[in-house]
Structure 1
Amino acid sequence: MSIISLIRTRIIGQRQPLTSVRRSGSTIGWCRLTVEAAARAARYAAFEAVLGPGDLLILGHHADDQVETVVMNMLRGSERPGLQGMPSDRVVGQASLVRPFLKVERARLIAYAESHGLEWIEDPSNARVQHDRNFLRHDVLPTLDQRFLGWRRRIKTALARDESFGQAVDEAVSRDLEVCLDGLGLRVDRLIKHSHARQRMILRRFLGERCPQQPSGRAIDEFLDQLQSSKARGRAELLVGDWTLDSDRGWIFLVSQKDAPLWLPEQWQGERFRRSGRLLLCQHSVRGGLQKPISQYRMSAMHLGLKIQRGHHQDVRELLRAAGIPRWLRERLPVVMEGESVVMVPAVLPWLEYPLVGDIGASSPSDAGWGLSLMMTGPPS
């Protein structure tokens, strides 16, 4: 009988409510996962889907589970210093998760359950030693118990020490990150003032708070090397699953590759302000602007080959690059079109103070016309 059938039989027999969710899959983003990792990811995805604000999820992981987790993390390798176990509490989706038994051994829990007539269900899959954690539990750790008496207690003591140390490091890294952040992204000049080790930790925290996936330490090192390479001139790029860590013009941004272009429906309705995602657009008066209101033109997404006539034809993307607008942003901006001609490239604050107006449809330099400015209201991630 499957674990689901066992649980359903027991719960229904006790006339208790039961919600079951079926999940499957072996990938997250670009990464193929082991069966254990895929099951864990699917399990937590189900938790997030079911739990709501204010809900509390209580898990029964105990001290022996914690020791197994520490050993598993040691064998896998970790970028964080010190021993790594399961947190006693954390956020899961909109709810809270707690593990109240992490300092209680399995034997004590079983003894308590037996003395109070409590019943529990053993997952049959826990006996399959082809899974890494089960192999550790049944074949490796008992051997260590025989050879190194008290090693589990020493592991737990070391874990408590490293968790305390890790908390202090996390607080320091949070302060470093706060200093390096400036509005939309990370300031490169502030980041590189720190040692290489601290740069790595700042980037990891920056990614960890915004991105569900983490790159390897080697990938981060290569990104930092590119960042300070005179040949790269401050340009660096790191792909992290569906995300890109992009450095350009003294800034580092994390950009989702699934983001839609930052452009509007084709027709502007004439309002002065308009919000589109993380863009705030403002129609205003400007000398030498367009003769007609923006509502009488067409909005188009940025794409290769767009040119604007200003005395002669100029490449729009090159104009934006010369203005210092970051690569991820200039590739997603809208432009104002009349027919097949670009008549205006909006101002992009704080990089481009005034819109770039073409010769077609422009008022004279001394006369007031219509302009369009854009301002980012949040980071790209």
Structure 2
Amino acid sequence: MNDLYADVARQLDELKPARLVVAFSGGVDSRVLLHLVARYREQHAIPCVAVHVHHGLSAHANEWAAQCQEWGAQAGIEVCVERVTLSSDSGESLEQLARDARYAALAKHVDSQTLMLLGQHADDQVETFLLALKRGSGPKGLASMAAHGNFAQGQLLRPLLTVTRAAIEAYAQQAQLSWVEDESNQDTRFDRNFLRHHVTPTLTKRWPGFYQAIQRSAELCAAQEALLTELLQEKLQLALNADNSLSVDVLDSCSALVRGQLLRQWLQQLKVPMPSRQHTDMIWHEVALAQQDANPKLQLGKYQVRRFQQRLYCIETEKDFSSWRATLNMNQTLRLPDSLGTLRLAAGENNTLSLPEGHHSFTVVFDPSGLSACPVGRSGSRKLKKLYQEYGVPSWQRRQLPIVMCDDKVVAVVGLFISRDFNGKDCELIWDKSEKFMANS
């Protein structure tokens, strides 16, 4: 018992965290981790909370949450319960959905001063490696789980990553700890459970050092990936634009091997799940090299890779706001749909709009179909579709720009232009854009 605590304490001492958050499912690994952290907290007086993610997938979910809070109270550590809902129509596997929801819930508790502690162990690492091997992953996937890295605004640590499940269970029994047994862990329809019950026991019985070999291979793959990233960083910066788009011309000057690695590093930097080699090839051949008059796109889960003006963009799939409309009143804040931010009409220091007599409100829409306008400084009106092209607005943004209307006339396309007939000094339009819109810009 003391050996395991000494190893975990050593890892924490090296990182010198200001605050700890424990991912606490209630399973044996996180139960042991909480026990170890409680001892460390007592000795070092470091702030610590635990977070239990309630997926609602089991009939026992409420019971588990209550039990985790009770165990936390016994250890003197507050347990926060985060309830999440999984979207079954996204096309992702239930395992992936639960994992994504869990990490999103945990991230809410991590700031720049926080070290998130996760209970994954050596058996988990073997399973992760074998799953990556099954998918035909390269060094990035085969690197599996890192013991230490960045997470949300802070950092994460997996202090039990070299400890076997058997050793963790032995610790729990010696410390007289009880834990949650998730019945879904016995369901071998899930790939990870199939490996756990039918594959890794056979491998480790035949080769007792298999765990250590997997760990070495994962570390070597991680080192190789880090080296590639370092060697290609200068080339990536040359291809990368301020809006996080990637230059097709720079990519075209590279070899196929370098180009593929740059595409993967670009997507990784944008925190997009790694595509398969087939998808990487499709990004280049079907999107980047599509006909110049085409509007190509490739769907990668909830993201799309698009091309515009010889640049590749990776954006979240756009939504159709054609039917959305709302009234924008003077000195009131209007919340736009889908986290596109807020819009405000007010008098200020940078007034550029005139209010027609008798009008103190406008209508906001997103559908440019059939609308025309004459921007300030120009003569003659043109269809908004043509104006968007002239202003260099990517096709996926054209139905995400708020259009301000007065009766049947376009007052302004916010962030783009004001119509000549509404140019004045009465008020201004203030668009507080969301992070999501900025990321897709």
TM-score (norm 1): 0.71
Q: Which moved more, 1:334-343 or 1:135-144?
A: 334-343
Give the aligned residue type for 1:208. Q
Match of 1:137 among 182, 192, 196: 196
The superposition leaves residues 97-133 of structure 1 with CA deviations (integer Å, 9 ceiling, x where unpaired) of: 211122233444455666x645353635344444432
Aligned residue for 2:314? 254
Aligned residue for 2:440? 380
| Structure 1 Cα separation of the partners of residues 204 and 216 of structure 2 | 16
1:191 aligns with 2:251: yes
The superposition leaves residues 328-381 of structure 1 with CA deviations (integer Å, 9 ceiling, x where unpaired) of: 344444556554234777895xxxxxx6865x5789xxxxxx999x9x995536
Match of 1:327 among 386, 392, 395: 395
Aligned residue for 2:409? 341
1:4 aligns with 2:69: no
CA 1:110–1:235: 2 relative to 1, 3 Å:
same
Give the aligned residue type for 2:310. G
The 3-state SS of whatever aligns with 2:297 is strand
Aligned residue for 1:305? 370
1:62 aligns with 2:130: no
Unaligned runs of 5+ in 2: 1-58, 332-339, 357-361
| Structure 2 Cα separation of the partners of residues 172 and 259 of structure 1 | 41
Aligned residue for 1:288? none
Match of 1:155 among 172, 196, 214: 214
CA 1:124–1:295: 2 relative to 1, 3 Å:
same
The 3-state SS of whatever aligns with 1:203 is helix
The superposition leaves residues 158-185 of structure 1 with CA deviations (integer Å, 9 ceiling, x where unpaired) of: 2221111111123345443322222223
The 3-state SS of whatever aligns with 1:27 is coil
Give the aligned residue type for 1:71. L
Q: 1:7-86 counterparts in 2 under 5 A? A: 7-8=67-68, 11=71, 14=74, 16-19=76-79, 21=81, 23=83, 25-27=85-87, 30-34=90-94, 36-78=95-137, 80-81=139-140, 83-86=142-145
Identity in percent: 27
| Structure 1 Cα separation of the partners of residues 195 and 415 of structure 2 | 60
- How many residue pairs are counted as aligned between the two chains? 357
Give the aligned residue type for 2:370. G
**Are the equivalent residues in 1 in contact too, given 2:288–2:310 (CA < 8 A)?**
no
TM-score (norm 2): 0.63
More helix by share: 2
| Structure 2 Cα separation of the partners of residues 20 and 217 of structure 1 | 40
Compare CA radii of gyration and give the structure with the larger one: 1
Give the aligned residue type for 1:74. L
The superposition leaves residues 223-278 of structure 1 with CA deviations (integer Å, 9 ceiling, x where unpaired) of: 321344363447422234444332111233333425989x9984788xxxxxx969
Q: Which moved more, 1:163-172 or 1:311-320?
A: 311-320
**Are the equivalent residues in 2 in contact too, given 1:306–1:316 (CA < 8 A)?**
yes
Match of 1:121 among 179, 201, 208: 179
1:318 aligns with 2:318: no
| Structure 2 Cα separation of the partners of residues 144 and 361 of structure 1 | 75
The 3-state SS of whatever aligns with 2:116 is strand
Say what the alpha-carbon RMSD is for the aligned residues: 4.8
Aligned residue for 1:289? none
The 3-state SS of whatever aligns with 1:90 is strand
CA 1:98–1:371: 2 relative to 1, 3 Å:
closer
